[in-house]
Chain A
Amino acid sequence: MQYSDSLVPLIIIFMAMAGIFPIMLAGNKPSLRSKFIVGVAVLVFVTVAAQVPAIFGGQVLTCTLAKVLPGAWIKLRIDAMGLMFALVASFLWIFTSFYAIGYMGSLKEHAQTRFFVFFAIAIGAALGVAFSANLLTLYLFYEVLSLSTYPLVAHDQTEEAYAAGRKYLTYLLGSSIAFILPAIFLTYYYTGNLDFADNVRSGIFSGAVPPNVVRLIYVLCLFGFAKSAIMPLHRWLPAAMVAPTPVSALLHAVAVVKVGVFSTTRVMLYFFGVETMDSLGLGMPTAYFVSITIIVASMVALTKDNLKARLAYSTISQLSYIILGVALLTPQGISGGLIHIANHAFSKITLFFCAGAIFVASHKKNISDMNGLGRLMPFTFGAFAIASLSMIGAPPVAGFITKWYLFLGSLEAGQVGIILVLVASTMLNIGYFAPVVYRAFFASPMAGKSGEGLREAPLIMVIPLCCSAFISILIGFYPDFLMTFVKGVLG
């Protein structure tokens, strides 16, 4: 790998965050503001995408901002793993921008400027996490993300929204201060270094650090990144569903939760390294521990009638797939885990977009009220069906690729238990997604609740959700592009 100094990572983060100024200035002119919102998103995505050739060519771009502590600087870097996540987040930001403009406009929400400003800061912070070169920098952006999403979660400013916001910050800030900060500190104390390693094997802990200290730091990291919603630190996510749907879609399906699993896997691969994880026996316990989350969250999802709540528990379950894959510590398992960051993002954002579109069109939140809606909103429910297939892991949609590699990885690791978990989880996925699609298309509308006058949500919302569903299929057919990133990570 070639390391080269570059201002690009800084510029990308700066662009996303500086995007708030034109949005603020155009606060009173909604149409101009919309143009800025989309413009910033496109600009950021194009700049991120422009880095792909260099990274595929084996380059790593680094940028040191401040030498704040000896051996622990505020430092950015773009490598394959970070770029893959940044690409997904910034790409979906464009869709979400269109969708959010439509959603917020249709519902005539209050304080829209504030909403879009904090949205931009949140994306900037997520990109910052993707481009962090060490744990200190990652922690910094991680906290910025927690704080900047609070006004989005509490957007409604009702008692329920405040309660959700309180829970949100308690879980996310509380766990990061109580666990991550000590982890950073212990690592620095024992190694004098916080930089991520340049490959996934060696990690930064030499043999000189007592094994139990490394284990402690590992456990602190696993629970500290509560954004990954591993049980029992998952409760903030269903609560955060009180936020407007675009927030649930981008932040609670892509940016925030993916920052959680990205941080966890980043630390597993580049901080501890496969070899250390292996020799300290950390991989399999982690895999089985997150298996609990996979199964239990799916079972909870079965019981939820509120569509967004069901999706939230589905997200909790699916996030743990990513950690499970990496914890297998085999090349196939890691591939399956990392590629699921992208696969789950495209599919789950589709599902949330659909939930929002259904709400805007019919003001319905509960699955039991959606009988027959599919015939009135064919595009929305069509996309929903495709994304559900992806969640289930059926070919040829993106989720199949994940399941394929996860199965291969478990075989490689020789873990029959994990295979059973994956099978059970697939069954549960079918159990909670199939009824939604079935009701929408085949069940007859309930008496007295005619769908008169009901039609699809505005085009500005329907087009993004169709696009993201289409991309899910595209990934299923052509996973090579994403696999190139994974190969870059595995070296």
Chain B
Amino acid sequence: MNHNLPVLVLAFPLLAAFAVNLLGKISKKHVAPWTLASLILSAGTSLWVLKDVLQNGKFSYTVGGWMAPYGIELVLDPLSALMLVMVSWVALIATFSALPSIKKEMPGREHLFFSLYLILICGMMGLVITGDAFNLYVLLEITSITTYGLIAMGKGRAPLSSFNYIIMGTIGACFYLLGVGYLYLLTGTLNMADIASRLPALYESPTVATAFCFLIVGVWIKMAFFPLHGWLPNAYTYAPKGASVLVAPLMTKVSVFLMIRIMFSIYSPEYDFLMHLGIKNLVVWAATIAIVGASLIALTQKDFLKMLSYIVVAEVGYMVGGVWLANQEGLTGAIFHILNDSLMTLCFFLVASAIAYRTGSSRIADFRGLFQKMPLTMLALSVGALSVVGVPPTCGFFSKWYLLLGGVEAGQWEFVAALIFSSIVNAVLFYRVFEVAFSHSEEEPSLKFENSRILETSPMMIPPLVVIPVVLLVIGLSAGPLVREVIRLAVPAL
């Protein structure tokens, strides 16, 4: 392997962030090509990295040649390489939608937006491949601070939502930092592998348990695990569409990945507290409540973006539950669902951006006649909806399948029931959207079409809307080989 590849994946967007900011001051024409070029390069390289990791196994990279545990270590195992591919590709596809919508929403400030945007992508990529617990904190703050900025750029209630997010996000980060602090006190190291090798001797210490709780609650706040989700719906709803289309599919999913890292790379399945039946069952119950609670709240929403946000929160429950089932099937389902859910969420937010671009509204009541006006967009939404409901052969069915298998195997029937319940709720949620969109719009044109010359939406938004539904189906149809060849490798050993 060319040993610098993993760093290159990060370097492209980071360098482009500066370029976009500086050149964007001169002319806004520079923003789009630099952003896209860097993300295309990054996405291409990430595939290369994944292929290499799958062929040659785990690989660690020492930044600047400083050896671990003193230097910064990047760890590329099948799981982090998979996440890297997911982040870079979702970011690339989201950008096709973000560019036109930001150009429309905040003309003249695109360069500012996209420099933060690229740093955020870089931060998320760093999060998934870092092998150092403290670096993880730094990267967590980088992603959070850029996200605060991106959300606050929105109109209306966006700054307030961003402020809420800052409070909650900071608390989460503090919890995480405290946890890392405890671990450093105990082990004298910050490198994850190093901590993992020293911890087993200390497992009896209550400090280890305290550290674990701080770390886990910290990432739970970051991933908006119900009832710690308060900041998420408003933040995603009022953010500029270009920001939510990137943040919504990725941020919660990356946080779930971090939870897996903490549980299985810093701690290990042998750790009694983690495997202790009482705690394990309790967290799965909490996940069950998360799924049911968020689904029920989603039912009460009248705004499409709000509804989607609560679906995202419910899906976080799927993944947390799946991981804490702590068996092979549950983890397979959770990791597969990280991938699927990020693509489904991407699909929904792409649709929401496209509709907002055309109509300027995200209220479901304003969707009248959309099947006629935006058939492609609605087709994409249909496929996404089928996937989130869990209808085969879309990918959502298969990850849910493994989650169900894991739930039954662990004897956690409440989780199984919650998954089925949430499927039905999702069916109702999207049915209501489709019923409005299917109705006539001739009699009372409630759609405020700002520009009737546009055929569907911005031409740049069209390719993702075509690609993503196809991807959802292809992943579903190739679920067998995908799970066998990739996901199973990424599942931590139990």
Contact = CB atoms under 8 A, between A and B. Distances in A.
Interface string A168-190: 01000110011001100100110
Contact of B393 (A66, A70, A162, A173): A66
A410 B437 CA distance: 51
B479 interface: yes
A69 B479 contact: yes
Given A136-B392, A177-B423, A185-B401, A68 B480 contact: yes
Interface string B406-425: 00100000000000100110
A143 B401 CA distance: 17
A140 interface: yes
Contacts of B404: 185
A293 B424 CA distance: 27
B439 A177 contact: no
Nearest to A73: B480
Contacts of B477: 65-66, 68, 74
Interface residues of A, number: 29
Nearest to A162: B435
A68 B427 contact: no
Given A69-B401, A182-B420, A189 B480 contact: no
Contacts of A445: none
Contact of A162 (B389, B408, B420, B439): B439
A331 interface: no
A74 B398 contact: no
A66 B478 contact: yes
A68 B476 contact: yes
Interface in A182-205: 182, 185, 188-189
A124 to B, nearest CB: 15
Nearest to B421: A178
B440 A139 contact: no
B435 A166 contact: yes
B295 to A, nearest CB: 13
B366 to A, nearest CB: 18
Contact of B398 (A68, A147, A169): A68
A287 to B, nearest CB: 30
Contacts of B398: 68-69
A151 interface: yes
Interface in B374-429: 386, 389-393, 398, 401, 404-405, 408, 420, 423-424, 427
Given A66-B393, A140-B393, A157-B440, A165 B435 contact: yes
Nearest to A70: B480
Contacts of A174: 424, 427
Interface in B465-480: 476-480
Given A166-B435, A185-B401, A68 B389 contact: no
B408 A139 contact: no
B449 interface: no
B438 interface: yes
A140 B391 contact: yes
B424 A177 contact: yes
Contacts of A70: 480, 484
Interface residues of B, number: 27
Contacts of B479: 66, 68-69
A108 interface: no
Given A69-B401, A140-B391, A181 B438 contact: no
Given A67-B480, A69-B401, A166-B435, A189 B393 contact: no
A181 B390 contact: yes
A140 B401 CA distance: 14
A176 to B, nearest CB: 9
Interface in A284-314: none
A154 interface: yes
Given A68-B392, A140-B393, A177 B480 contact: no
A181 B427 contact: no
Interface string A55-87: 000000000011111100110000000000000
Interface in B441-476: 476
Contacts of A188: 405
A67 B485 CA distance: 13
B431 interface: yes
Interface string A135-157: 01001100100010001001001
A177 B427 contact: yes
B481 interface: yes
Contacts of B420: 177-178, 181-182
A143 to B, nearest CB: 5
Contacts of A173: 427, 431
B113 to A, nearest CB: 38
Nearest to B484: A70
A151 B440 CA distance: 13
A165 B478 CA distance: 33
A140 B438 CA distance: 23
Contacts of A182: 420
A234 B427 CA distance: 20
Contacts of A73: 480
B480 A66 contact: yes
Nearest to A165: B435
Nearest to A136: B392
A177 B405 contact: no
Nearest to B474: A66
Nearest to A169: B431
A157 to B, nearest CB: 6
Nearest to A74: B393
B186 to A, nearest CB: 42
Contacts of A165: 435
A246 to B, nearest CB: 20
Interface string A318-361: 00000000000000000000000000000000000000000000
Interface string B273-314: 000000000000000000000000000000000000000000
Nearest to A146: B391
A74 B386 CA distance: 17
A157 B481 CA distance: 43
A367 B31 CA distance: 71
Nearest to A139: B392
Contacts of A189: 405, 408
For B391, B401, B435, the residue with the greatest tally of chain A CB atoms inside 10 Å of its CB is: B391
A67 B481 contact: yes
Nearest to A190: B408
Contacts of B439: 157, 162
Nearest to A178: B424
A466 B481 CA distance: 53
A154 B392 CA distance: 24
A111 to B, nearest CB: 9
A347 B474 CA distance: 42
B489 to A, nearest CB: 16
A259 to B, nearest CB: 16
Nearest to A174: B424
B438 A151 contact: yes
A166 B428 CA distance: 10
Contacts of A178: 420, 424
A162 B389 CA distance: 21
Contacts of B440: 157
Contacts of A181: 390, 420, 423
Contacts of B390: 177, 181
A436 B188 CA distance: 92
A189 to B, nearest CB: 5
A140 B423 contact: no
A369 B408 CA distance: 59
Contacts of A154: 438
Q: 4 nearest interchain CB pairs? A: A67-B480, A66-B477, A68-B479, A140-B392
24 contacts: A65-B477, A66-B478, A66-B480, A68-B393, A69-B398, A69-B479, A70-B484, A73-B480, A74-B392, A74-B393, A139-B392, A140-B392, A143-B386, A147-B386, A154-B438, A157-B439, A162-B435, A174-B424, A177-B389, A177-B424, A177-B427, A178-B420, A181-B420, A189-B405
Given A69-B401, A185-B401, 7 more contacts: A143-B391, A147-B386, A157-B440, A162-B435, A166-B435, A174-B427, A189-B408
